[in-house]
Chains A and B, each alone.
Chain A
């Protein structure tokens, strides 16, 4: 436990994520998710909510400054304490931690955390331009201004460090070796796409539930080599809310609150080009010798993610996440960054992410993916379908993960999804991970059954 009072999640709600919701503006979307959450805890009245933390990423998408104040207004929460939270792609994860802070500090007993994004108001490629404005507009944006391109640069180096140097180290011809390594990475990234899309078949909130085959996943239209369409998340409209309460009052409202037992946060340079080439911050089970030849993080890994995980595990008293976590909902804006994140948060060592997928660890037990997976179900990652299949309405995304994790830990997936195919049996502890700006900003939050 970090310093401060114990903080619990007592309710949550999510709108269906969709390419466009022209029938609702951002306020009504949040209101729908909020009403759902309030209905789930009938003892809680609006008058019990003491503050709000409201998140959305982009003023460009919203085309409305002070949109958080308008949400506060629409929900009838004036004149209470409120603020807007913005942290790029990690906006939602940061909003949950902001809510945690106000309750942990003792300032409030009940805080509403609400987030949204309305990305359908511009065409997809204009939307990509807006997102790219969250890279250095002097040095990065004018070169090509495209986030999928930035993540492609990062995974290309990740493939080089781990697949080219290790698995294909015997091939002498550099071009041939790199081609072989990239083909192998494409196959494994396709497995991640298949996993997340198939999981989403059972999630009624997901934007792209589809029984994706390996052939379709490998052969998808190329966006930025080697990232293709099935391995990249899409733009969405959506909202999500969660309600946090102190230990003093949580049980007044629900018999099944979920404890936030650890929070962690990390950062790195905004420009990829500036990332250091130093040493790996180690988990207790890792050794410096193992990483002796590795220049870290370079552009291949996310030091912010490692830093956030180190802090969160320390707060939650987690010694070995592989043993002590029952599932993970992580920020898979790209299939590549899902694999990179396994390593950052210690589900495996750096370099082992590809094997982690290939052997089946992050897949769900009892789900048919059309793949041979000897270690299936060892550590379910993105049982909800993740960003790749649920969609990524930025300001809502991290909160959506929090709501799905809350329902997993309550054991109420069946109630909220209308089926319990995605319920991780007897889930006691989960991790949610929110990520922004080529890994410049990451939060990790640990949640556990109270």
Chain B
């Protein structure tokens, strides 16, 4: 396809720009386009604010959910206020075992996670809890994962204070290391 051929040429120019900082692209439309490298790095000072206890909990091997003080809706992913009635929630301990509500195996990903592919994502459901938790599902290959599979939480030994401090593995499966 013409589009793919054209882009292949431009991709070569992108590589040259990454190496040398600038390159001129002889565009098939007849122009000469100057393309330059333009880096942009940021370090945010980010507060987990009202969700802080959840992340501190992960570091201690605890999974904390939110329960509405008024209507008792129970959230597996924390929210300080109930989306059903608007009331404040309180923390409760989530079970460390649940079931796969849905899952996938990612063969590509964002640049940051590309080196970790392939990896599994799962939405985990917990008995008596109204919403789900998104997590990595380790220790199982694509052809063995299924909806309804029983899974348990494992925690990172050295916390990074990220949601990825917890991941899930099949119940009865081999222990995975992080």
Give residues in A with beta carbon < 8 Å to B: 18-20, 22-23, 63, 120, 123, 125-126, 128-129, 132, 138-146, 148-150, 152-154, 156-157, 160, 164, 174-175, 178-179, 207-210, 221-226, 269, 271-277, 299
Contacts and interface: CB of A to CB of B under 8 A. Distances in A.
Contact of A139 (B111, B113, B119, B163): B163
A225 B35 CA distance: 36
A19 B106 CA distance: 23
Contact of A299 (B101, B119, B148): B101
B41 interface: no
Nearest to A300: B102
A312 B152 CA distance: 44
B109 A128 contact: yes
Nearest to A157: B102
B27 to A, nearest CB: 5
B135 interface: yes
A149 B106 contact: yes
A272 B133 CA distance: 9
Most buried by B among A144, A154, A222: A144
A153 B112 contact: no
Given A146-B109, A149-B106, 20 more contacts: A18-B7, A20-B7, A23-B31, A120-B10, A129-B111, A138-B51, A141-B110, A143-B134, A144-B109, A144-B110, A144-B121, A146-B113, A153-B102, A153-B104, A153-B123, A224-B108, A224-B121, A273-B132, A274-B83, A299-B132
Contacts of B134: 139-140, 143, 153, 271-273
A226 B147 CA distance: 14
25 contacts: A22-B27, A22-B33, A125-B110, A132-B110, A143-B121, A144-B119, A145-B110, A145-B112, A146-B113, A150-B121, A153-B103, A153-B134, A156-B102, A156-B103, A156-B147, A157-B101, A208-B3, A223-B106, A224-B104, A269-B83, A271-B134, A273-B123, A274-B83, A299-B101, A299-B132
B80 interface: no
Given A123-B14, A139-B163, A160-B147, A144 B131 contact: no
Interface in B89-143: 101-114, 116, 119, 121-123, 130-136, 142-143
A189 to B, nearest CB: 14
B61 to A, nearest CB: 18
The size class of the interface chain B forms with chain A is 35 or more
Contacts of B122: 153
Contact of A19 (B3, B31, B112): B3
Contacts of B113: 144-146
Contact of A224 (B7, B83, B106): B106
Contacts of A19: 3, 6-7, 10
At the interface, is chain B mostly helix, strand, loop or mixed? mixed
B102 to A, nearest CB: 4
Contacts of B75: 274
A381 B79 CA distance: 39
Contacts of B76: 273
A125 B109 contact: yes
A223 to B, nearest CB: 5
Contacts of A269: 83
A449 to B, nearest CB: 33
B83 A18 contact: no
Contacts of A156: 102-104, 147
Given A208-B1, A272-B123, A274-B131, A157 B147 contact: yes
A149 B29 contact: no
Nearest to A150: B121
A221 B106 CA distance: 12
> In the complex, which of the residues B101, B104, B146, B164 has the most CB atoms of chain A within 10 Å of its own CB atom?
B104
Contacts of A208: 1, 3
Contact of A63 (B38, B83, B135): B38
Contacts of A223: 106-108
A139 B38 CA distance: 30
Nearest to A164: B147
B146 A142 contact: no
Contacts of A63: 38, 40
Nearest to A145: B110
Contacts of B71: none
